[in-house]
Structure 1
Amino acid sequence: MKKMVLGTALATCISGSAFAYDGGDFIFRSGAITVSPEVSSSALSLGDATLEGTAAGVDDGTALSLIGTYMLRDHWGVEVIAATPFSHDLKVSGLGETFDLGETRHLPPTVVLQYYPLQASSRVQPYVGLGLNYTVFFEEKVSGEANDIFASLGATGDASVSLKNSSGIAAEAGVDVAFGADQRWLLNLSVWWMDIDTEATVKVPGVGTVSATVELDPLVYSAGVGYRF
């Protein structure tokens, strides 16, 4: 009798019914997510003049990830990536020094088609994905330091900055490690590359409009936990 019970338990574990990634399953993941831009900027322009040797920069930003995956069928899922708003410091270099231009917030809603290569019963589930990203910039602000510099150049009021929204492709790789009594809880590590390009425009009253084309193309890192429903 004991052998029969042990055999039944072993068969259940091998079948993976408790932690299978089957069609129709829903997976929710959340944790810390960091956007780390790999910035490539054109030189700043003021009207028709190009300010040679200048460039824009964007610092990293961290937020809380909110990620849901629906398994369309075994091995294939569709993921929707959301997060609380990211905040990034904006920089300008090449005008004798690097100074703080201001800050912006953004949200990067992204949809990715995922592929899970291992059998559904595997406790360790690597995956890759490819999809589309749309990045929305908002609440852009110019710093007091930047306004002081613009005032020394003849500005007649505070400047304003805006960043154009962006759309592009996104690629990802990640891994889930199941744990817990029913193997429904997950430890997750994931990384994305996102094609994000924007046009930064700074309007300086009494001076003119300063603009630059900026390729952000960040690597996005996430570490957290998940649960499979």
Structure 2
Amino acid sequence: MKKMAFCCALVSLVSGSAFAYESGDLILRSGAATVSPEVSSSALALGDATLDGTAADVENGTALSLIGTYMLNNHWGLEVVAATPFSHDLKVSGLGETFDLGETRHLPPTVLLQYYPLAPSSRVQPYVGVGLNYTVFFDEEIAADANDVFATIGATGKAELSLKNSSGVAAEVGADIAFGADDRWLFNVALWWMDIDTKARVKVPGVGVVTADVALDPLVYTAGFGYRF
């Protein structure tokens, strides 16, 4: 009897039918996500004049990812990616020094169609996805260093910073590794690429408006845990 019970348990473990990714499953994932921009910036422009040799840069930011996937069938899912706000420090180079321009926060809601290539019963579930991203920038603030620099070129007050919202494509690769008594708990790792382009505008009183076109196109890394309902 003990041998029979062991064999039954082993068959159940291998077949994994109770653990299958199935139509109607809801998978919730959360973890630490880091946005690492691959920045490409135009030279800063003041009115019609281009400030040759200048560029903007954007530092990394980390927040809590909030991700939900609805399984359309055993191999295809629809994912919605959200997060708590990311915060990024902004810098400017080429005006005799590199200085802090300020900071911004953003939210990157993204929708992707996912494909899971392995058998639905596999405890390791790699996946790929492609979709659309919309990035909202808010709470932009100018740094004291930037105001000091602008004062040397005739600014008569504090500058104001704004960033244009962005929409673009997104792609991802990731994997779930199931664990726990019923394999509904998941360890998850994922990597996204997002097409994010913005225009930075700095209104400098007494001087004019400084602008730059900035492509962020970040890689977004996340690792965390999930649960399949």
Q: Secondary structure at the match of 2:217?
A: coil
Tell me the CA shift for residue 18 of structure 1: 3.0
Gaps of 5+ in 2: none
Q: Secondary structure at the match of 1:73?
A: coil
Q: Secondary structure at the match of 2:18?
A: coil
Residues 121-136 of structure 1 mapped to structure 2, 5 A cutoff: 121-136=121-136
Tell me the CA shift for residue 153 of structure 1: 1.0
Letter of the 2:154 counterpart: G
Distance 1:16 1:120 in 2: 9
Distance 1:38 1:161 in 2: 21
Q: Secondary structure at the match of 1:91?
A: strand
Distance 2:83 2:90 in 1: 20
Show CA shifts across 1:71-119 (max 9, x none): 0001100100000000000000000110000000000000000000000
Distance 1:114 1:38 in 2: 24
Q: Secondary structure at the match of 2:21?
A: coil
Q: Which residue of 2 aligns with 1:77?
A: 77
Distance 2:205 2:169 in 1: 36
Identity of aligned residues (%): 76
Tell me the CA shift for residue 9 of structure 1: 2.2
Show CA shifts across 1:38-74 (max 9, x none): 0000000000000000000000000000000010001
Tell me the CA shift for residue 10 of structure 1: 2.7
Q: Which residue of 2 aligns with 1:175?
A: 175
1:198 maps onto 2:198 in alignment: yes
Q: How many residues are matched?
A: 229
1:91 maps onto 2:96 in alignment: no
Q: Which residue of 1 aligns with 2:147?
A: 147
Tell me the CA shift for residue 152 of structure 1: 1.4
1:111 maps onto 2:111 in alignment: yes
Residues 23-42 of structure 1 mapped to structure 2, 5 A cutoff: 23-42=23-42
TM-score by length of 1: 0.98
Q: Which residue of 1 aligns with 2:64?
A: 64
Tell me the CA shift for residue 3 of structure 1: 4.0
Q: Where do 4+ consecutive residues of structure 1 move more than 6 Å? A: none
Identify the range of structure 1 (174-183 vs 157-166) with the bigger mean alpha-carbon deviation. 174-183
Tell me the CA shift for residue 180 of structure 1: 1.0
Letter of the 1:100 counterpart: D
Q: Secondary structure at the match of 1:21?
A: coil
Distance 1:54 1:148 in 2: 17
Q: Is the 8 A contact 1:155 1:205 kept in 2?
A: yes
Q: Which residue of 2 aligns with 1:102?
A: 102
Q: Which residue of 1 aligns with 2:53?
A: 53
Identify the range of structure 1 (179-188 vs 82-91) with the bigger mean alpha-carbon deviation. 179-188
Q: Is the 8 A contact 1:114 1:129 kept in 2?
A: yes
Identify the range of structure 1 (147-156 vs 158-167) with the bigger mean alpha-carbon deviation. 147-156
Tell me the CA shift for residue 181 of structure 1: 1.2
Distance 1:70 1:13 in 2: 25
Gaps of 5+ in 1: none
Distance 1:112 1:166 in 2: 17
Q: Is the 8 A contact 1:18 1:184 kept in 2?
A: no
Distance 1:93 1:214 in 2: 14
Show CA shifts across 1:182-229 (max 9, x none): 111111110000000000000000000000000000000000011111
